[in-house]
Structure 1
Amino acid sequence: MKVVLEMTLPRNAESAPLVRHTLDASLRGLGVTSEVRADIALALGEACANVIQHAAAGMEYEVRARMDGLRCVVEVIDGGGGDVPAQWDGAPAAPLAEHGRGLHLMRAFTEEVHVADRVSRNGAVVHFEKSLAS
């Protein structure tokens, strides 16, 4: 079975739990273990938090997720215009810093993490993948 989710969300703090719960319900329906679902939820939460905090140009952002039973591929797409946080430009966060660890966490809990500029519009695409095998 293949599941595809595409959501356009308001750039506010209430949207992150909604998208996490929606994706988690789809993964649960596919029989994905709670450990793998938690890893994906953590990465998605970090990507959404970055958009909500830093992407000042747009009032909305998009989340696209594809699941095929073997792999989950997620893209969080913003409208840009904000400041580029340290975690996205590769600068390491201080060990006890409260901010700047998002990309490091995403890399630790998922696979194929990368951030790219949007091709034809302002903004960035945060892409990550996770194997659904436990």
Structure 2
Amino acid sequence: MPVSITLCLPREVESLRMARTVVSAALSALEVTRACREQFAIVVSEACGNVVAHADGTDAYVVRVNVTDGRCDVEVVDQGAGFVYDAQAPRPQPTAASGRGLYLIDLLTDQVIVTSDLEHGTTVWFTKRLEFTDTPTG
């Protein structure tokens, strides 16, 4: 069943829980496995957390979720100050205090695309093939 959800959220720490909860509930209703839902909870939290921590110049952001053909695409968009993104940058150390968010998103999804403009904000898009349970979740 195709599903499309758009959330307009304030740039506040509390919004991370809302984004995680909505995405997880939608995937649960579609009978996606718990492990797959947990991976989405991590990547949605990381993408939204980056907005909350770094998107100076904006008070809100948008999360778009589209489920179709056994895949889930998520797009997190802000109109903040943007940053210079280097897809070839070395991976962060596991003990690094910060900078692991985009790396985690890349590890836990099938594809991630980051576009950022210093004047128009940042978009983080990622997609992952869904794993479904064999029995309904109750």
- Quick check: TM above 0.5? yes
Aligned to 2:46: 46
Please report how far the alpha carbon of residue 109 of structure 1 lies from its aligned counterpart in structure 2 after TM superposition.
Answer: 0.7
Q: Any residues of structure 2 matched to 1:12-51 within 5 Å, and which?
A: 12-51=12-51
Normalized against structure 2, the TM-score is what? 0.86
1:69, distance to aligned residue in structure 2 (A): 5.4
CA RMSD of aligned residues (A): 1.8
4+ aligned runs moved over 4 Å, structure 1: none
Deviation of residue 95 (structure 1)?
A: 3.6
SS of the residue 2:75 aligns to: strand
Distance 2:69 2:3 in 1: 9
Partner Cα distance (1:94, 1:109) in 2: 17
Paired with 2:130 and 2:80, the residues of 1 have a C-alpha distance of 31
| Map 1:86-125 → 2, pairs under 5 A | 88-90=85-87, 91=89, 92-117=91-116, 122-125=120-123
Q: Secondary structure at the match of 1:51?
A: helix
Aligned residues: 129
Of all paired residues, the percent bearing the same amino acid is 39
Partner Cα separation in structure 2 for residue 12 and residue 89 of structure 1: 26
Equivalent in the alignment of 2:135: none
Secondary structure in structure 2 of the residue aligned to 1:76:
strand
Q: Distance in 2 between matches of 1:131 and 1:11?
A: 28
Unpaired segments of 5 or more residues in structure 1? none
